[in-house]
Amino acid sequence: MLRISSSKVAQIILLAHELRMNSGEMEILTEDLSEDEVQTMGRMDDDAIRSFIGDLNEEEQTDLIALAWIGRDTFTVDELDEARATVVSEATSETADYLLGMPELAEYLESGLDAFGISAEDEEDDIM
């Protein structure tokens, strides 16, 4: 059983989709800016998802990473405890930094929920 609610995962999925859409627009808007200015704008753009992930407790953050790993087929649902142990033993960065480094984060989380028999789409619809 996951220690993070499916509604919280759905919120992160929505934020990740929004972030990815905005990053495409940002490429066009930042063509004439310096690298430092672009990085500052990028940080402002991902503040919402970083804040949401940062507000999760440690168990929820651990399960969020484990769920992404299950979604990308690194682990199976039956290996959830092993995935959790690996998250804890291999953690080298902040959870948000690690997860936002995954270009396919939303898809991994959706697939992870699906593996548990939870419809990410239904959860997202409930939020919207």
Q: What is the pLDDT of residues 25-45, one digit of tens each?
A: 445 444 555 565 545 444 447
In angstroms, rounded to a whole number, what is the distance separating the alpha carbons of residues 13 and 121? 10
Helix 6-29 / helix 35-45 crossing angle, nearest 10 deg: 150
pTM for the complete prediction?
A: 0.80
Answer for the pair 83, 117: CB distance below 8 angstroms, yes or no: no
Q: Count CB-CB contacts under 10 A for residue 105.
A: 24
**How does pLDDT run across 12-28, given as a tens digit for each residue?**
999 998 887 655 544 54
Please write the tens of the pLDDT for every residue from 2-11.
999 999 999 9
C-alpha Rg value of the chain to the nearest Å: 15
CB neighbours of 112 closer than 8 A, spacing ≥ 6? 9, 67, 68, 69, 70, 71
